[in-house]
Structure 1
């Protein structure tokens, strides 16, 4: 799509196609598109065909059109993995192990975050943060557990008001952050709205739900933040058909 003569037109076409396929299966959400701006042939995103381009303007054009078309057809889109995994080298997979992206803040904001501005302008329903660590933005924790990145950068600097959904809670990059419940509580405390339990094990979701409930009643999660998250999620659900 990114290599097409008109990436925006290609993005719109494939957005409509994705929505049609998903709606035919009774689904109204899609954890796509990936907005990573890859750096070199064969790097992590490029190796699997998961990056539109190494040019952030092309990524923005294709992804923004994909998001607009898919959501016009009633399927929520998810821009991921904020602030970007395009600089991850081959084999740097957060599903399996911790990953650090050692870019300076200027590059992250001017290159990697640029497509997210287009996605937000297109009204993207959900954004998924990365589980990689970005020392220039927050040296301590992965992006999805960082209030500085989620509340400060994504909501503050970029002005995003929609739903923030986590990447897979069982990811290997979070090995040092406890079990599914601990990670879910940490994700919401940092500013996420939904915890993605995707281990195909109902027990994982039950654990996360129980720990989140306990964190709310015990005061570890701010009730006002939880209510704001609930409002965002309900607003999204009511917008779908």
Structure 2
């Protein structure tokens, strides 16, 4: 669908202010080669950036062609993507390096190794013409039932997370790629996924997880991303993304961050359901954000957000000096990062598996499971994070073609009945039972218990956070699963 831009939008504001307002937007879009007409018009008006998703990715040559086409329209356009590693990313079909998630890196606790993993990811981005990475995660995993941070965090201890943030940020910067610490001032203390509803962190100020963000600032991180989380100790009325007390008073004035502050995606239900994307864009910029992300492919939503910002400027409810300040920060970022590297030096393609192996190696060896029947229990992939659904059986069979198995990615109607059917298929083969954060998904625990009750010789594996002594991969990225499969079959 093509949206007609109101003629009054350009006429009502000075051209430079109109451009400044557009520079404060980051847009998602659909397509892998052709640039949509609405997006071309936004870029012509000064759009600050675009964000790519799996829907925009086919292969490496196609991505580089797409980013070249975008910059041919505007040389200082920032091209961004979520690229955390550990299976959380959108570039699998474009040859993304396989690195374990942050939690595994924190378990190894070798910042030099973390830097090598970050270098591989950033080098790959630079080769594709992508120069903004919305990573690393600076949150702490401090709430056992947190549904969204978990193995995306480097850990639950501020010192560990801080030193790995520094390593990641410095390695990414060395590649000429902008990193972005997220989600300020921390998403790890919540019990809610802000993709689905508004999250609240009820802790007092002195217990909030600010130390990693201080470390990121000290490391020179050029961008931060806000959290759609309410912190009553800071502002009882608004989530951080929309709070002047948090974005200006805390982040700018108290912590001294002078880089670009970008919102998390406005279509997330924590903002969209309560405020609406358009109002969210206007309020976030007024509160102190420099850019707002509208990640949905429907550019009509981006245009609605843009029109809300322009309307607020015309009415005076959004101060002109606030938008010009934000625009200048984005302009400065673009001067540093918008132009991708022409020649990209090679990165280490094996560093991710090395890191994943080191995370697993500190545990007891469980070799001898050749010919096993693997039961892999895991939740459906999170659509926003785009974990690709990698499974343990695939990695086991790559090492041992005689392995068989069952993958279950959703709650069964009858856990006992499923367990019985699995055991009949397994016969006398060694049994491996893997769960992924079964505390959050009790159906996994019910199936696992039913299996282990009848086969106490079975080997338990955890592919999320650690679970009661089970052999743990610390994540479901391909490298994580390959490393734990090697231990199970005795391949190393």
* Shorter-chain TM-score above 0.5: yes
The answer as to 2:96 corresponding to 1:96 is no
| C-alpha deviation, 1:44, in angstroms | 2.6
Match for residue 78 of structure 1 among 180, 187, 205: 180
| C-alpha deviation, 1:176, in angstroms | 1.5
| C-alpha deviation, 1:115, in angstroms | 0.5
Q: Deviations over 1:29-57 (max 9, x none)?
A: 0111111111155633454x211011101
Instruction: Measure, in 1, the Cα distance between the counterparts of 2:107 and 2:113.
Output: 9
| C-alpha deviation, 1:11, in angstroms | 2.5
Closer/same/farther in 2, CA of residues 45 and 55 from structure 1, 3 Å limit: farther
**Contact in 1 for aligned 2:109/2:160 (Cα 8 Å):** no
Match for residue 229 of structure 2 among 132, 152, 155: 132
The answer as to 2:107 corresponding to 1:3 is yes
Match for residue 58 of structure 1 among 133, 141, 160: 160
Runs of 4+ in 1 over 4 A off after TM superposition: none
Tell which deviates more after alignment, 216-225 or 56-65: 216-225
Q: Secondary structure at the match of 1:2?
A: helix
Q: Secondary structure at the match of 2:177?
A: coil
The answer as to 2:128 corresponding to 1:25 is yes
Instruction: Measure, in 2, the Cα distance between the counterparts of 1:172 and 1:71.
Output: 32
Quote the residue 2:376 is aligned against. none
Match for residue 222 of structure 1 among 319, 328, 348: 319
Unaligned runs of 5+ in 1: none
**Contact in 1 for aligned 2:148/2:193 (Cα 8 Å):** no
Unaligned runs of 5+ in 2: 1-104, 340-492
**Contact in 2 for aligned 1:40/1:46 (Cα 8 Å):** no
Tell which deviates more after alignment, 34-43 or 183-192: 34-43
Quote the residue 1:39 is aligned against. 142
Match for residue 12 of structure 1 among 98, 115, 121: 115
Quote the residue 2:212 is aligned against. 115
Q: Secondary structure at the match of 2:323?
A: helix
Instruction: Measure, in 2, the Cα distance between the counterparts of 1:78 and 1:53.
Output: 18
**Contact in 2 for aligned 1:11/1:64 (Cα 8 Å):** no
Aligned length: 233
1:189-204 matched pairs, under 5 angstroms: 189-204=286-301
Q: Secondary structure at the match of 1:231?
A: helix
RMSD: 1.3
**Contact in 2 for aligned 1:44/1:86 (Cα 8 Å):** no
Closer/same/farther in 2, CA of residues 211 and 46 from structure 1, 3 Å limit: closer
Closer/same/farther in 2, CA of residues 16 and 132 from structure 1, 3 Å limit: same
Instruction: Measure, in 1, the Cα distance between the counterparts of 2:147 and 2:331.
Output: 35
Q: Deviations over 1:112-155 (max 9, x none)?
A: 11011111111111111100100001000101100000100000
Quote the residue 2:169 is aligned against. 67
| C-alpha deviation, 1:217, in angstroms | 1.9
| C-alpha deviation, 1:213, in angstroms | 1.3
The answer as to 2:305 corresponding to 1:208 is yes
Q: Secondary structure at the match of 2:152?
A: coil
Instruction: Measure, in 1, the Cα distance between the counterparts of 2:304 and 2:146.
Output: 35
TM-score after normalising by structure 2 = 0.46
Q: Secondary structure at the match of 2:119?
A: helix
